Amino acid sequence: MNSRCETAVRAALFTVLGLLCFAASVAAQDYPNKPIRFVTSQAAGGTADILARLIGQKLTDSMGQPVLIDNRPGANGIIGIDSVAKSAPDGYTIVLGTAANLAVNAALYKRLPYEPVSELSHIALIGKTYYSLLVPATSPAKNLGEFIALARAKPGQLNYGSGSSSQRAQTEIFSNGAKISLTHIPYKSNTQAMTDLMGGRVDLLFESTATAMPTARSGKAKVLAITSPKRLALYSDVPTVAESGVPGYEWSQWVSINGPAGIAPAIIQKLSNEIMKIMANPEVVDRFRSMGLEPNYGSPEQLTALLKSDVLSYKKAFKDAGIPQEE
């Protein structure tokens, strides 16, 4: 190809790229011009559902289009995330992601129907939540040290419940750190595990603080410790797992907004900017903290980096704890 032809080809390519950028810019300016579907992989009434409705309503108010909540629970969040990964990348389908259904699942399962890092768009980080270690109200253990001593005296005789792969993983890592042996009882949902804990059929359960604290305050269970690195201001009377006998133990779950891969960068940025404003709203901040969550906005780039890092961290933690990958 002679230089004149090469010049002409380059000019044509630049023209096409310019037109594509212009089209994307116009699309972003017009966005949104129809309702947005907001998927959550948890059933109605759960923490993720409550957060999706809170953020969804604020987006409706600020963007002028309805944000419709679509609950798609099941398979440790895989069903909901997969439905979004396979949606049109036009910005009209988003999902409430979590460390559990993105990073933990990527580390725990040999195969997923989607690749969390490359087959999703990462729009914004919105916060972090910690878990509480619950025992039945009738448990003889008054604190975590007493529970650990009881478990060591009865290896394998005490059990724990889990309604998700994340719950199972964090409990196994805890057991490994505490040098105790607990028998696993799997459940189809966290709600079922919680019901059996309150009924005394489960000896230990890690549950989100948003759910655990009201249950404990009602007298239906006891919270022995929380998985944060330091005590939470809202629950300053509850010690951490690390200070209660398992040094270095911490388990948190970040919450994010994601979409299918391929959403125009201008639309991602527009959504992220709106979410940043929402996360600065005092009403939203207070609501998050009342549920035991720490509001924490992060950019698309920060969320992407966090997800990549956490997948590697969870893989190492599971390997060190002897937790095999699941099919």
CB 70 within 8 A of CB 40: yes
Mean pLDDT of the chain: 90
Q: 103: which DSSP letter?
A: I
**Which residues fall within 8 angstroms of residue 29, CB to CB, at 6 or more apart?**
none
Mind listing the pLDDT tens digit for each residue in 191-247?
899 999 999 999 999 998 888 988 999 999 999 999 999 998 888 999 999 999 999
* Token pair 């201001």: residue: 233
* Token pair 């944000």: residue: 67
Hey, do 10-129+253-320 and 130-244 end up sharing a CATH topology, with the first three levels equal? yes
Mind listing the pLDDT tens digit for each residue in 44-65?
887 889 999 999 999 999 999 9
Q: What is the pTM of this model?
A: 0.79
Mind listing the pLDDT tens digit for each residue in 192-205?
999 999 999 999 99
List 128's β-bridge partners, or say none: 254, 294
What CATH fold (topology level) applies to the domain 10-129+253-320?
D-Maltodextrin-Binding Protein; domain 2 (3.40.190)
* Measured distance CA(166)–CA(169) in Å, rounded: 5
* Measured distance CA(264)–CA(252) in Å, rounded: 31
Q: What percent of the chain has pLDDT over 70?
A: 92
Helix (H) or strand (E) holding 258: strand 252-260
pLDDT value at 26 more than 60: no
Which listed CATH number (3.30.360.10, 3.40.50.920, 1.10.101.10, 3.40.190.10) goes with 130-244?
3.40.190.10
Q: What is the pLDDT of residue 273?
A: 98
Q: 233: which DSSP letter?
A: G
Question: Between these two residues, 146 and 313, which has the higher pLDDT value?
Answer: 146
The structure tokens listed for 298 are: 């992060």
Which residue in 217, 215, 307 sits closest to 257, CA to CA?
307
- So where are the chain's domains? 10-129+253-320, 130-244
CA distances from 91 to 27, 44, 51 (A): 10, 23, 19
